[in-house]
Amino acid sequence: MPTDKISKINAIKSLFGRDSYDKCTGDGVVTWKDGHTTTEEETAQINTEYDRLQAEYDAKEYQRKRDAEYPSIKDQLDKIYHEGIDKWKEDMIKPVKDKHPKA
């Protein structure tokens, strides 16, 4: 996801789209455009979608950690140019992947 955390707003947008509500707080209180009050069924759907999105986000933690540790693209390209792909993989990529394995 493009955000650095998941909120109920993400779940509501995912389920109903941004055009379905006027205002939404982080805890999931919604002012719907059509004026209806959030039903128990909608609340359950929102909570289920929130849990799904959070699990998806959590499962990709290794990617975020890797991204923070990989050298800059400039440095990586320089390594490839001067020492080749195999040396780049061995020296720059493998250590980060080993440190933060895919779960």
Note the Cα 68 to chain centre separation in Å: 14
The range of the structural domain enclosing residue 25 comes to: 8-59
**Per the domain annotation, does 1 fall within a domain?**
no
- 19 within some domain: yes
Does 33 reside within a domain?
yes
Full-model pTM: 0.71
pLDDT digit string, tens, across residues 65-92: 999 999 999 999 999 999 999 999 999 9
Query: CB within 8 A of 84, min separation 6: which ones?
Result: none
Task: Kindly state whether residue 3 falls inside one of the protein's structural domains.
Answer: no
Give every CB contact of residue 11 below 8 A, 6+ residues apart in sequence: 28, 46, 47, 49, 50, 53
Q: Are residues 48 and 71 in the same domain?
A: no
From the list 68, 57, 77, the residue with the least C-alpha distance to 100 is: 68
**pLDDT tens, position by position, 22-48:** 888 767 788 899 989 899 999 999 999
Residue 2: inside a domain: no
Residues 36 and 14 placed together within one structural domain of the fold: yes
